Amino acid sequence: MSNAATDNGQLYKTACTLMPGGVNSPVRAFGSVGGSPRFIDHANGSTMTDVEGNRWIDYVCSWGPLILGHAHPAVVDAVQQAAVKGLSYGACHRYEITLAELIQKHMPHMQMLRLVNSGTEAAMSAVRLARAATGRSAIIKFEGCYHGHADSFLIAAGSGALTFGTPSSPGVTEGAAKDTLTATYNDLASVEACFKTQENNVACVIVEPVAANMGVVLPNEGFLQGLRKLCDQYGALLVFDEVITGFRLGLGGARVAFGVTADLTVLGKIIGGGMPIGAYGGRKDLMQQIAPTGPVYQAGTLSGNPVACAAGIATLSILENENPYPKMQRLAQMLSDGTKQNLNDAGIPAALNQIASMMTLFFGIESVTSYAEVMKADAKLYGRYHAAMLQAGVYLAPSAFEAMFVSAAHTEDDIQKTLDAQKNAFKSIA
């Protein structure tokens, strides 16, 4: 049987006969870095091991949510205890209340919230609620920010800030595209221009407070505050997509980190310890418009899955009680400082954006504050770097425009081994 194979190449060949591109999410295919994907057999702490026995220090961390590392004993124990009671009820249970209370404790602006199954579902539902609450149709998103694969979000920028976008994927209709305006991240003037074209028809602005799906791009000073002011001025809601930053920047998320409160907040699988879950929430008057207390329909058999909730309770409790944030910040700073030194020694121009325990290295450019600047980075050089680091035992995202994540399971030894591998990798690609 194919699942008995212990060779990455053979597994990939088999997978390609069963799934588009051999993967269940496009970036896993290694298409932008060359080579073929590795098939993971198991993971623990800061490392992953593939079916061939190759072991890597992992900086993908399931794209961010494994803030405690892989298979944290307390999280695994919580999952096991919940699983033996039943994998799914399709009914109410205590875990979902406890998890909601933990989230609200640290994000009190989420006066009420709804658990769902993914970040995509949470973002889609938040936008539907914003449209219903305001009676408006249009939304403003930002080029380079990713909010899942719902139709409203798969929109490319138009010919300028004054135009609606166009579908960026076949299957997305012109009708869906006409209700989405695309602005430039860190450019308040482009946002106001969008508002002025549809002054009485913009339901919300949705934004990653720290962009992390075009690589880590930090908000300029005053940008998020400016969005809050514009939304208030034009009667629109501000939606923070914190699928990446929620509980990664800190327990309070972007509200605490930047002093800006959104009307609605979207969270992802970090609230389930990496298991499939998401949430959206905000002001009580808005959330009470969700069925069954209001007319805005949203439902899901697996919403608030007990096993995922148990994993989330364990994860958030550890973050609260053990406070690994200073350690992760220290290790991320060590990695950032060492990377800058290695770049300087190798004579390789690059920008390194870092905040808290997440960062991105952009080759060939000096600074990055927008999607247009991201697109100037040398993705081919990153591909060579990725291959060299993979060979040296360091697993990075198979895309030049993703984040690296440091977890509570990483150690100083992990960071030093990474920097040593990186130094040699830079020499090989310079």
Provide mean pLDDT across the span 391-415: 97
pLDDT tens-place string over residues 192-203:
999 999 879 999
pLDDT at 158: 46
Supply the DSSP symbol for 301: T
Query: How many CB atoms sit inside 10 A of residue 294's CB?
Result: 15
pLDDT at 280: 98
Least confident of 103-117, 164-178, 290-304: 164-178
Least confident of 155-169, 339-353, 354-368: 155-169
Query: How many CB atoms sit inside 10 A of residue 283's CB?
Result: 17
> Distance of CA 30 to CAs 23, 118, 124, Å?
10, 23, 28
Q: Is the pLDDT of residue 159 over 70?
A: no
What is 73-321's CATH topology? Answer: Aspartate Aminotransferase; domain 2 (3.40.640)
Q: Is the pLDDT of residue 160 over 50?
A: no
Enumerate the domain spans of the chain.
2-67+324-429, 73-321
One-letter amino acid of 388: A
pLDDT at 326: 98
pLDDT at 336: 98
Provide mean pLDDT across the span 190-214: 95
pLDDT at 31: 87
- pLDDT tier, 248 (very low <50, low <70, confident <90, very high otherwise): very high
- pLDDT tier, 151 (very low <50, low <70, confident <90, very high otherwise): confident
pLDDT tens-place string over residues 3-55:
566 899 999 999 999 999 999 998 898 988 988 999 999 999 999 999 999 99
Name the β-bridge partners of 355.
358
Would you give the distance in Å from CA 85 to the centre of its chain?
31
Q: Is the pLDDT of residue 278 over 60?
A: yes
Q: Is the pLDDT of residue 156 over 80?
A: no
Q: Which of 146, 382, 385, 395 is catalytic?
A: 146
Yes or no: say if 133 and 237 are a contact pair by the CB < 8 Å rule: yes
Active site residue 187: no
Supply the DSSP symbol for 112: E
* Average pLDDT for the chain: 94
Least confident of 25-39, 69-83, 116-130, 254-268: 25-39
Rg (CA), the chain: 21
Provide mean pLDDT across the span 284-290: 97
Q: Is the pLDDT of residue 2 over 90?
A: no
pLDDT at 194: 95
pLDDT at 161: 35
What is the chain's length? 430
Query: How many CB atoms sit inside 10 A of residue 347's CB?
Result: 8
pLDDT at 331: 98
Domain 2-67+324-429: CATH superfamily is Aspartate Aminotransferase, domain 1 (3.90.1150.10)
> Distance of CA 309 to CAs 96, 102, 125, 148, 351, Å?
6, 11, 19, 21, 38
pLDDT at 164: 55
pTM of the model as a whole? 0.95
pLDDT at 165: 61
Q: Residue 321 has which token pair? A: 């009680």
Active site residue 423: no
Q: Is the pLDDT of residue 145 over 80?
A: yes
β-strand pairing of 112-116 with 278-282:
antiparallel
Q: Which of 241, 263, 382, 414 is catalytic?
A: 241
CA angle 92, 95, 101 (to 5 degrees): 105
Q: Is the pLDDT of residue 125 over 80?
A: yes
pLDDT at 163: 42
User: 346 CB contacts (<8 Å, ≥6 apart)?
Assistant: 423, 426, 427, 430
Q: Is the pLDDT of residue 166 over 80?
A: no
Active site residue 376: no
Q: Which of 12, 269, 395, 414 is catalytic?
A: 269
User: 204 CB contacts (<8 Å, ≥6 apart)?
Assistant: 126, 127, 130, 131, 134, 139, 140, 231, 236, 237, 238, 239, 263, 264
- pLDDT tier, 157 (very low <50, low <70, confident <90, very high otherwise): low
* Strand, helix or coil for residue 8: helix
Same CATH fold, 73-321 and 2-67+324-429?
no
